[in-house]
């Protein structure tokens, strides 16, 4: 029987253990996690891929709502990123089914609506379903009736999620040792053969997943994989997490990212509280000044249970010998866009597709696996960097962004593209292919994590696109758009009356 060992018991550790057990049901799966060390517990939001992952491992969404104080996430609301008090949304996919416009628009084309908003210098909030229903605290996916108007994701209490996943894992035969690794044994070829634990216990293993979080016990500290730092491209490097208690029944179905003087604050609703945190550039400001700014903004004192610093980036190789790093132990770009668990899920799927070759130490397959990890992180780096190219200029952090932080080749190419056009998916695919080739990665089948719609939503929100270019395209391609324009708000109102209010939906899911 093959022995898999997962070192670390946070969200990354337990989703890894459950996934391995699902894909290798006859294997012996062991988690080593110390209750004394605990988990970071700061990441409390995910993307739609996690929903599919839960389905794959047989965990109902309703259980996350019941046992981890889960709530629904329609997307992310970005507040005051231009310093004008306005907001824009990065929405998960909307599906405008049952929409009947006039006879001219049976094949609905959103492009002229996007162009019009760029011309007006506005975000896409008025022409997207997610902002409309989110501001009214409604959800767009009803898993009870299977009625859906698009994709959604989840918020949760990270500590409760880890405990719940642990309970599921133990029920499914996964073993747990509450202990700490203090020594690593290898064979003559430097493959990990076992561990000595703090209690004095020794164990053997065939394959290891390093889910040790920021400790980066194995891939980083033991195997010394090269660290690819992104700190010259991204400004934030420290976070002050805190909680805001609430008994409100009107928790919003979105994550809010609020631009502050020296970075931004996340605000994530779970049942009974908001999980919050200020992510900032510590070279401009002290912890005490950040706390003071937060308390002035919120109007009351806060208590941060644990500060943490990070160097944005990832390891060059997350798969070495018979070990793969998953989660924070593999890398971390930054909290914006909630990509950490998304990367974990993607890399577990990649392992599953290549596990036989990886576990036979097929060098070419391992190279492809590691290249895929690096490519995903570069993709995230590009997209997150883009968010900071705003018009805000009320502090040294914002005015010095382009001076202090280097530009990225992808962003430079993207900027050249928008001088003459508004980007569409084929253009983004082309730029991604060029970046993959330039990066010297092996022949990997890579699809960007972020669609043209994502880039357009953020780009319009930060006023990145040229209204003159949008007007030129509108004049050429949509001359009679004004005559054929549909009343989207009327349709949104009709549909929003059909879907659940967020609180009502949560209460119904608790009884599923």
For residue 255, give the 3-state DSSP assignment.
Answer: strand
Structure tokens at 198: 């703090």
pLDDT band at residue 344 under the 50/70/90 scheme:
very high
Averaged pLDDT of the chain:
92
Condensed to tens digits (0 to 9), the pLDDT of residues 177-221 reads 999 999 999 999 999 999 999 999 999 999 999 999 999 999 999
For residues 74 and 129, give the distance between their C-alpha atoms in angstroms, rounded to a whole number: 10
The average pLDDT across 72-92 equals 97
pLDDT given for residue 287 in this prediction? 95
Q: How confident is the model at residue 482 (pLDDT cuts 50, 70, 90)?
A: confident
Reply yes or no on whether the pLDDT at 40 is more than 70: no
What is the band of 338 on the pLDDT scale with cuts at 50, 70, 90? very high
Tell me what pLDDT residue 43 has. 56
> For residue 79, how many C-alpha atoms fall within 13 Å in the half-sphere facing its CB?
12
For residues 89 and 77, is the Cβ–Cβ distance under 8 A? yes
Amino acid 116: pLDDT: 95
Question: What does residue 278 show for φ and ψ, rounded to 5 degrees?
Answer: -105, 115
Give the mean pLDDT of 119-134.
95
Q: For the chain, how are helix, strand and coil distributed in percent, rounded to 5?
A: 40, 20, 40
The answer to whether 95 touches 57, Cβ cutoff 8 Å, is no
Q: How far apart are CA 352 and CA 355, in angstroms?
A: 5
Q: What's 37's DSSP letter?
A: T
Better pLDDT: 444 or 294? 294
How far is the C-alpha of 213 from the C-alpha of 254, rounded, in Å?
26
Inform me whether the pLDDT recorded for 37 exceeds 90: no
Q: Residue 104: pLDDT above 60?
A: no
3-state secondary structure 405-467: CCCCHHHHHHHHHCCCCCCCHHHHHHHHHHHHHHCCCCCCCCCCCCCHHHHHHHHHHCCCCCH
Q: Is pLDDT above 90 for 160?
A: yes
Q: Kindly indicate the confidence band of residue 431, based on its pLDDT and cuts at 50, 70 and 90.
A: confident
Neighbour tally for 57: CB within 10 Å: 19
Reply yes or no on whether the pLDDT at 442 is more than 60.
no
* % of the chain residues with pLDDT over 70: 95
Residue with tokens 């294997």: 27
Q: Which of 332-336, 358-362, 464-468, 488-492 has the lowest mean pLDDT?
A: 488-492
* φ, ψ (nearest 5 deg) of residue 212: -85, 10
- Residue 437's pLDDT is 66
Amino acid 141: pLDDT: 87
- Structural domain spans, the chain: 3-70+154-230+314-362+369-376
Q: Higher model confidence: residue 413 or residue 439? A: 413
pLDDT tens digits, residue range 347-390? 999 999 999 999 999 999 999 999 999 999 999 999 999 999 99
Task: State the average pLDDT over residues 479-494.
Answer: 86
Q: Which residues pair with 91 in a beta bridge?
A: 75
Q: Determine which of 59-73, 99-113, 231-245, 293-307 has the lowest per-residue pLDDT on average.
A: 99-113
Rounded to 10 degrees, the C-alpha dihedral 299/300/303/309 comes to: 20
Q: What region, left, alpha or beta, does residue 150 occupy, with left being phi > 0 and alpha being psi -120 to 50 degrees?
A: left
pLDDT given at position 306: 83
Which pairing describes strands 273-280 and 75-79: parallel, antiparallel, or unpaired? unpaired
495: phi then psi, degrees, rounded to nearest 5: -70, -40
- The answer to whether residue 10 scores a pLDDT higher than 80 is yes
The CA distance from 148 to 434, in Å, is: 36
Are 220 and 332 in contact, with CB atoms under 8 Å apart?
A: no
- Burial (CB count <10 Å: 0-12, 13-18, 19+), residue 458: buried
Cα Rg of the chain, angstroms: 23
**pLDDT above 70 for 440:** no
Is 46 a residue whose pLDDT tops 80?
yes
Two tokens at 220?
């980083």
What CATH architecture is 3-70+154-230+314-362+369-376?
A: 3-Layer(bba) Sandwich (3.50)
State how far the alpha carbon of 321 is from the alpha carbons of 238, 247, 407, in Å. Answer: 32, 50, 35
Report d(CA 431, CA 421) in Å as an integer.
14
pLDDT at 436 over 90: no
């Amino acid at each position: 029987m093959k022995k898999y060992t997962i070192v670390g018991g946070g969200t990354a550790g337990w989703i890894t253990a459950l996934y391995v057990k699902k894909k290798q049901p006859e294997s012996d799966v062991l988690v080593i996690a110390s209750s004394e060390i605990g988990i970071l517990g700061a990441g409390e939001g995910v993307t739609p891929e996690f929903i599919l992952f839960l389905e794959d491992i047989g965990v109902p969404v309703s259980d996350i709502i019941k046992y981890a104080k889960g709530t629904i996430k329609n997307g992310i609301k970005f507040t005051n990123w231009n310093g004008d008090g306005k907001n824009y949304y990065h929405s998960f996919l909307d599906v405008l089914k049952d929409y009947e416009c006039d006879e001219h628009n049976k094949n609905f084309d959103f492009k002229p609506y996007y162009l019009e908003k760029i011309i007006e210098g506005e975000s896409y909030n008025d022409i997207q379903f997610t902002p409309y229903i989110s501001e009214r605290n409604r959800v767009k996916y009803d898993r009870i009736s299977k009625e859906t108007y698009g994709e959604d994701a989840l918020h949760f209490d990270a500590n409760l999620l880890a405990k719940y996943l642990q309970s599921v894992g133990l029920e499914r035969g996964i073993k747990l040792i509450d202990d700490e690794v203090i020594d690593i044994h290898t064979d003559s070829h430097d493959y990990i053969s076992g561990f000595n634990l703090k209690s004095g216990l020794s164990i053997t293993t065939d394959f290891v997943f390093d889910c040790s979080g920021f400790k980066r016990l194995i891939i980083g500290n033991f195997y010394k994989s090269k660290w690819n730092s992104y700190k010259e491209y991204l400004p934030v490097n420290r976070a002050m997490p805190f909680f805001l208690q609430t008994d409100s029944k009107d928790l919003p179905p979105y994550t809010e990212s609020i631009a502050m003087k020296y970075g931004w604050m996340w605000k994530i609703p779970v049942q009974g509280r908001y999980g919050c945190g200020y992510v900032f550039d510590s070279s401009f400001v002290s912890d005490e000044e950040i706390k003071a700014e937060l308390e002035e903004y919120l109007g009351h004192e806060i208590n941060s249970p644990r500060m943490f610093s990070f160097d944005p980036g990832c390891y060059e190789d997350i798969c070495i010998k018979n070990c793969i790093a998953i989660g924070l132990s593999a890398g971390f770009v930054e909290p914006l866009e909630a990509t950490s668990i998304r990367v974990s899920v993607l890399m577990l799927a990649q392992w599953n597709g290549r596990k036989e070759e990886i576990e036979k130490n097929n060098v070419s397959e391992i190279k492809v696996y590691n290249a895929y990890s690096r490519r995903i992180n570069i993709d995230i780096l590009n997209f997150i960097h883009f968010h900071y190219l705003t018009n805000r200029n009320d502090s040294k952090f914002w005015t010095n962004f382009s001076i202090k932080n280097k530009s990225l080749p992808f962003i430079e190419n993207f900027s050249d593209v928008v001088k003459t056009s508004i980007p569409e998916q084929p253009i983004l695919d082309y730029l991604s292919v060029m970046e993959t080739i330039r990066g010297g990665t092996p022949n990997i089948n890579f699809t960007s994590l972020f669609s043209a719609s994502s880039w357009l939503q953020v780009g319009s929100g930060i006023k990145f696109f040229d209204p003159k270019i949008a007007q030129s395209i509108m004049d050429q391609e949509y001359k009679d758009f004004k005559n054929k324009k549909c009343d989207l708000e009327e349709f949104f109102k009709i549909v929003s009356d059909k879907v659940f209010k967020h609180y009502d939906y949560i209460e119904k899911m608790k009884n599923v």
